[in-house]
Amino acid sequence: MFTPGTIVKVLISNIPNSGYDYRLPVSADIGTFVSVNVMNRPCVGVIWGIGDSNLPQSKIKDISVVHDAHLNIADLQWIKKMSDWTLIPLGLVLRLIINIPDAFLPPRMEQLYSFDFTCAGRMTQNRQAVADAFASNDNAPMTVGDIQNIAHVSPAVVRTMIKNGLLYPSGEQIKHHLTIPVYQDSGNVTLNTEQQSAADVIGNSVRTGGFSVHLLDGITGSGKTQVYFDSAWRAYRAGHSVLLMMPEIALTAQFMSRFESRFGAPPVVWHSNLTAARRREIWHGVLDGKIRMVVGTRSALFLPWQNLGLIVVDEEHDTSYKQEDMGNYHARDMAILRAKIAGFPIVLASATPAAETLENVASGKYEHLCLTSRYGGAQLPKISTIDLREHRPTPYIVDGEEQTGFLSPVLCDAISETLSARNQIMLFINRRGFAPIVQCKKCGWTATCPDCSVGMTYHQRIGKLLCHMCGRTAPLSKSCPDCGGDVSMRGVGLEKIQQEVNIRFPNARTALVSSDIITSRQALERLVGRMESGDIDIVIGTQILAKGHHFPNLTLVGVVDADMGLFGTDFRAAEHTFQQLFQVAGRAGRGAQPGHVMMQTYQPEHPVLTAICAGNRDEFMATDMAGRRAAQMPPYGQLIAVIIEGEKEHVLRRYCDELAAAAPLLQGGKIMGPITAQIYQIRNWYRMRFLVAGSATSALQPVVSHWLAKVKQPANIRVKIDVNPINFM
Ligand code: ADP
Ligand code: ZN
Ligand code: ZN
């Protein structure tokens, strides 16, 4: 406890350093939330420790307000360790925790609006987006800012909807909208033997406390959710707080209703589409220890948890846990760090664990709990490849013009059979739009984005070219801008597959699923509802549907291009392709009827594909990891990417040259680069990268921060540090 008058160091949210010194007006503990002024701006921070600035007493300002809330010592240690590991400055790590505006001020009075569903009339795209934004917040009233942010609509759209009464004023402040649930175990689930023994092991760790990591490794449909619900219940009942983390797209209505039926009340959900008021309520509820169980995406890890006793990371291999916008961190790894520091168990659940995780199992750091069969005896699907060299797709005709086909006759036969049996089909293709390459037949010109060094994809739905990097659109011209020759479309996206399906199976009802079509959870739920009620025969989509859903009548999964991920340039390409195809395959045959997965490929002998067909995950991963061990790639070596971006090419190049000259010699490692990044230009900024490589035990982070500090960073340069990069763009 610091006494009044003590000079303390205050770590300040959103200021990228380790804080400033202030004088304490009253006594307070380390970790206490305070408000201070920085350049006459009020800011929130926490008392970090004793001051150390050597400033004369007269220059040191008083803390403005000492709040009646604090972070624990373990939280502070976690912030420090996270900053050391990711090289995100301390104040920016704190921003992840204090992630609601004006956290300690009374809620602002602001005009709120409700949506009039009764007079919505024709649902235009904008109206639907606004309706979905309300639905994702239980139809609570929203501010104009919320509506714009969550529905992704312009101020003009909101203004028009207010003018014509679709949005009507309803109060100025939300009062206790959130009911704080009290959970109980409804006792309606009896675990089978395998599930029970996994649950008992975790339950034991929950009871005794202390740090441990459990990998809940179970094939799709084996009941991992029911097992970790059991663990969650045990921790919750013992008075602890519980965090269930999952990828945004796994937060499905099916999941919510399973949660509710097990625990008697719906979960408190934390994700990116909440209103500011809702975020605030949840944040304070967690801080006060009133909300003790949250289901959320990666940012839920940063809620001001009290007495956390268990974290579950579902789909732990999922790359969406890797944050890459505001500082790079891996939420799974940071969750493990948090559990380690505070001393409680953590459960990682997956059907296809990450290589890093499997390595930690092999070395005995994590406990391995296996679920080997599907619950209720549902069979695993039969998985096979279709050799496209032998079974070439035939062309088809649209408006008198011959089109290249992408569905081989073997797959088409299987589709026909499945349709006759009145079952459902999913065609998986991980590429949005109609054609990824738009090229001149005569001179070879291709349509590229003027701001990014990538090609533009033709999207038939909007009738335009679209840059998948920055979102810029451009009209499609019939003739080449360079030579006037004819322009052709090459390659395949999901819209093109839909065209082919519609021609070959004119009576089948099709639907497309991709991030540009399914823009909200409500839109996804509508689609799931149509699948469940049998309104869709063939769903064509990207990996959005590959997670968490359970469609009993889906018996055929066709992977249009299984080779797509196999030629990736980075060392994780095979692992990620395997995980993705394995997840997709897991959608088939989840009901009483067996499923079949067919993967079209030009190289059926590829080890990723033979392993998937044989259901041989362990052997595949062992081979993949042996290769990484030999190449000293993670998890057997460490990598830190340093990406330097600049508006002016010559400034960027000069800075990179200076950095290269200042690069230290590493023992057992090296600093490689600079090279131009794989995508040299994004949104008109140029990009270069260094790669720092070292052995698994070397401490690379201090080397990197020391090195970067040696060279003065010019204006209009961004430096992004990515520890253990997943994305090599
Ligand atoms: P996973 O998460 O491993 O893919 P789920 O937890 O989704 O598997 O379980 C698959 C299906 O089996 C779900 O419909 C689930 O409700 C059901 N299920 C699993 N275990 C049990 C159980 N012990 N009792 C009743 N239903 C179960
Ligand atoms: Zn041309
Ligand atoms: Zn672009």
What are the tens digits of pLDDT across the range 281-327?
A: 999 999 999 999 999 999 999 999 999 999 999 999 999 999 887 78
**Confidence at residue 101, expressed as pLDDT on a 0 to 100 scale:** 84
- 659-688 mean pLDDT: 92
Task: Indicate left, alpha or beta for 257 from its phi (over 0: left) and psi (-120 to 50: alpha).
Answer: alpha
- 466-471 mean pLDDT: 90
Phi, psi (rounded to 5 degrees) for 160? -60, -40
**Confidence at residue 334, expressed as pLDDT on a 0 to 100 scale:** 98
pLDDT above 90: residue 571: no
For residue 548, give the 3-state DSSP assignment. coil
Q: Which ligand is nearest to the CA of 468?
A: 3
Residue 68: CB atoms within 10 A of its CB come to 9
- Atom 21 in ligand 1: residue holding the nearest Cα: 223
Q: How far is the CA of 488 from the centre of ligand 2 (A)?
A: 10
Q: How far is the CA of 455 from the centre of ligand 2 (A)?
A: 15
Q: How far is the CA of 442 from the centre of ligand 2 (A)?
A: 5
For residue 667, give the 3-state DSSP assignment. coil
Buried b (16+ CB within 10 A) or exposed e, 707-723: bbeebeeeeebeebbbb
User: Is the bond preceding 634 in cis, omega lying within 30 degrees of 0?
Assistant: no
Handedness of CA 489, 491, 496, 502 (dihedral sign): positive
Phi, psi (rounded to 5 degrees) for 655? -60, -45
Cα separation values, 408 from 277, 337, 434, Å:
52, 48, 18
- 661-681 mean pLDDT: 91
Condensed to tens digits (0 to 9), the pLDDT of residues 192-236 reads 999 999 999 999 999 999 999 999 999 888 999 999 999 999 999
Q: How do strand 367-371 and strand 596-601 relate by DSSP bridges?
A: unpaired
Q: Quote the pTM value.
A: 0.92
DSSP type of residue 311: E
Phi, psi (rounded to 5 degrees) for 409? -55, -30
Mutate to test the pocket of ligand 1, among 186, 348, 375 (most ligand atoms within 8 A of CB): 375
Buried b (16+ CB within 10 A) or exposed e, 318-350: bbebbbeeebbbbbbbbbbbbbbbbebbbbbbb
Q: How far is the CA of 299 from the centre of ligand 1 (A)?
A: 26
Q: How do strand 717-723 and strand 637-646 relate by DSSP bridges?
A: antiparallel
Q: How far is the CA of 729 from the centre of ligand 3 (A)?
A: 14
Rounded Cα gap, residues 353 and 582, in angstroms: 11
**Confidence at residue 569, expressed as pLDDT on a 0 to 100 scale:** 66
- Atom 22 in ligand 1: residue holding the nearest Cα: 191
**Confidence at residue 394, expressed as pLDDT on a 0 to 100 scale:** 96
Token duo for residue 553: 């009548």
pLDDT band at 174 (very low <50, low <70, confident <90, very high): low
- Atom 5 in ligand 1: residue holding the nearest Cα: 223
- 8 A C-beta contact, residue 433 and residue 458: yes
Q: Which ligand is nearest to the CA of 227?
A: 1
Rounded Cα gap, residues 659 and 690, in angstroms: 9
Task: Give 262's Cβ-side CA count (13 Å radius).
Answer: 20
Percent share of the chain, pLDDT over 70: 98
Ligand 1 atom index nearest CA of 195 = 23
- Atom 10 in ligand 1: residue holding the nearest Cα: 221
Ligand 1 atom index nearest CA of 190 = 23
- 179-184 mean pLDDT: 88
Condensed to tens digits (0 to 9), the pLDDT of residues 57-93 reads 889 999 999 999 999 999 999 999 999 999 999 999 9
Ligand 1 atom index nearest CA of 192 = 23
- 8 A C-beta contact, residue 219 and residue 380: yes
Rounded Cα gap, residues 668 and 678, in angstroms: 26
pLDDT above 90: residue 139: no
Q: Which ligand is nearest to the CA of 487?
A: 2
Rounded Cα gap, residues 85 and 334, in angstroms: 9
Ligand 1 atom index nearest CA of 224 = 3
Rounded Cα gap, residues 132 and 151, in angstroms: 7
Listed in sequence order, the residues at least 6 apart from 201 whose beta carbon sits closer than 8 Å to its beta carbon are 214, 367, 369
pLDDT above 80: residue 122: no
Q: How far is the CA of 153 from the centre of ligand 3 (A)?
A: 21
- 8 A C-beta contact, residue 723 and residue 87: yes
Q: End-to-end distance of the chain based on CA atoms, in angstroms?
A: 48
Mean pLDDT computed over every residue of the chain: 92
Ligand 1, residues at Cβ distance < 6 Å: 189-192, 195, 218, 220-226, 258, 375, 550
Tell me how long the chain is.
Answer: 729
User: Is the bond preceding 42 in cis, omega lying within 30 degrees of 0?
Assistant: no
Mutate to test the pocket of ligand 1, among 189, 226, 257 (most ligand atoms within 8 A of CB): 226
Q: How far is the CA of 684 from the centre of ligand 3 (A)?
A: 8
pLDDT above 70: residue 437: yes
Condensed to tens digits (0 to 9), the pLDDT of residues 349-369 reads 999 999 999 999 999 999 999
Rounded Cα gap, residues 609 and 562, in angstroms: 8
Phi, psi (rounded to 5 degrees) for 86? -90, -15
Q: How do strand 41-50 and strand 7-12 relate by DSSP bridges?
A: antiparallel
List, in sequence order, every residue forming a beta bridge with 276; answer none if it has no partner: none
**Confidence at residue 175, expressed as pLDDT on a 0 to 100 scale:** 61
Q: Which range (186-190, 193-197, 455-459) has the least confidence? A: 186-190
Mutate to test the pocket of ligand 1, among 219, 225, 372 (most ligand atoms within 8 A of CB): 225
Ligand 1 atom index nearest CA of 586 = 4
Q: How far is the CA of 443 from the centre of ligand 2 (A)?
A: 4
Which amino acid, residue 566? Answer: L
- 8 A C-beta contact, residue 423 and residue 539: no
- 678-687 mean pLDDT: 93
> What percent of the chain is helix, strand and coil (3-state, nearest 5)?
35, 25, 40
Rounded Cα gap, residues 42 and 47, in angstroms: 15
Ligand 1 atom index nearest CA of 219 = 3
Q: Which ligand is nearest to the CA of 438?
A: 2
Cα separation values, 141 from 124, 226, 266, 618, Å:
21, 34, 20, 50
- Atom 26 in ligand 1: residue holding the nearest Cα: 189
Q: How far is the CA of 444 from the centre of ligand 2 (A)?
A: 6
Which amino acid, residue 602? Answer: Y
**Confidence at residue 102, expressed as pLDDT on a 0 to 100 scale:** 85
Q: How far is the CA of 195 from the centre of ligand 1 (A)?
A: 10
Q: How far is the CA of 453 from the centre of ligand 3 (A)?
A: 7
Q: How far is the CA of 397 from the centre of ligand 3 (A)?
A: 33
Q: In what order do the strands lie in the sheet with 473-475?
A: 457-459, 464-466, 473-475
- 591-604 mean pLDDT: 89
Q: Which ligand is nearest to the CA of 442?
A: 2
- Atom 18 in ligand 1: residue holding the nearest Cα: 223
- Atom 20 in ligand 1: residue holding the nearest Cα: 223
- 8 A C-beta contact, residue 513 and residue 527: yes
- 8 A C-beta contact, residue 262 and residue 232: no
User: Which has the higher per-residue pLDDT, 569 or 238?
Assistant: 238
Burial degree of 554 (CB within 10 A; 0-12, 13-18, 19+): buried
pLDDT band at 548 (very low <50, low <70, confident <90, very high): low
